[in-house]
Amino acid sequence: MDFLLTLTSVGILLLYAVPGFILSKLKAVNTDSLPAFSKVLMYVCQPCLTLYTFDSVDFTWPLFRDMLWFLLAITVVQLLTIGTFYLLFRKKQQDVRYRIYTVASTFGNCAFFGVPILEALLPGTNAVVFSNMYFVSMSLLGWTVASAIITHDRKYISVKKIVFNPAVIIMAVALPLFMLNIKLPGQLYGAVSIVGKMTTPLCMIIMGIRLGSMSFKKIFAGKLQYLIILVKQMIFPLLALGVACLLPWEGYIRQAMFIMACCPVASVVLNFAELLGEGQEDAANMLLLGTMLCIVTMPLMVALYQM
């Protein structure tokens, strides 16, 4: 992993937000459109990204075993972190801000932001397929635990929500193809990869539109936001790396977990807030501030890893 390459990659990703910001300032689009964009992102682009990443690697049993251990490990780390903050804020859960902070302390942009970073930093490895396992874990927790926290309603903790969500449904399609080493036909693969790779630009354009509609002063004003971002983007990755070092993985898998854990506050925090109709502004503040600060935190954490 390389400090300057990380800095350049993060900087390029942030540039994708500029068109959305300009369109918002020109009043060409407004935030009323964002729930629709979020649905396209979560129900169309992300499933295609999953198919693309699985299709890009060849199945082996040792790789599949490592993927399952990866899924278990990152799920445990996320549950520990989100559980800790839920307990810390348990007396303030009536305030939607603290419910958003609880989720934002754990969820990172492992797919939309992580995949292009992994492709840049760990070329020639199977690292991108592990981003799917990370995203599946986050989606399972997102459609259940996180949704219950954001809405303050336990009805989301159900087997139905675990099984019938976009991440699990597309995995039911992608995994058999992966395990049987069945590759998508050339033209279909091309179409799926194009739509899948739209996730990052679309995610950042959505962020730019939201940024253009908000006051910069308001984004930077909340002191507690900085603590949550410090935990998510600097302390959480160290916890994930500590767990990864306990497992007999190849070095690139540990690096992949660390890189994805370093990713900024997840856009799905805002997507879930938009879909659930709770805490949209607070989620937007966390997403925007975390993403802007990641141009410092991600290269810094990579430099720390190299040391």
Query: Is the confidence at residue 227, as pLDDT, over 70?
Result: yes
The confidence score (pLDDT) of residue 276 equals 67
For residue 20, give the amino acid letter. Answer: G
Per-residue pLDDT tens for 237-288?
999 999 999 999 999 999 999 999 999 888 778 777 766 677 777 888 888 8
Per-residue pLDDT tens for 74-89?
999 999 999 999 999 8
Tokens of 272: 């879930």
Per-residue pLDDT tens for 238-249?
999 999 999 999
The confidence score (pLDDT) of residue 209 equals 87
Query: Is the confidence at residue 223, as pLDDT, over 90?
Result: no
Higher per-residue confidence, 159 vs 127 = 127
Q: Is the dihedral of CA 11, 15, 16, 21 positive or negative?
A: positive
Query: Is the confidence at residue 2, as pLDDT, over 80?
Result: no
Tokens of 16: 């994708």
The confidence score (pLDDT) of residue 210 equals 82
Most confident range, picked from 151-165, 263-277, 283-297 = 283-297
**Residues 6 or more apart whose Cβ sits within 8 Å of residue 263:** 108, 109, 110, 113, 114, 117, 233, 294, 298
3-state secondary structure (DSSP) of residue 108: strand
Q: How many CA atoms lie within 13 A of 166 on its CB side?
A: 21
> How many secondary structure helices (H) and strands (E) does the chain include?
19, 0
Give the DSSP per-residue string, 239-257: HHHHHHTTS---HHHHHHH
Instruction: Give the chain's end-to-end CA distance (angstroms, integer).
Output: 11
Q: For the whole model, what pTM was predicted?
A: 0.88
> Percent of the chain scored above 90 by pLDDT?
26
Per-residue pLDDT tens for 171-202?
889 999 999 989 988 889 899 999 988 888 88
For residue 236, give the amino acid letter. Answer: F
3-class SS letters over 114-159:
HHHHHHHHCCCCCHHHHHHHHHHHHHHHHHHHHHHHHHCCHHHCCH
Per-residue pLDDT tens for 79-126?
999 999 999 988 887 888 888 888 888 988 887 777 888 888 888 888
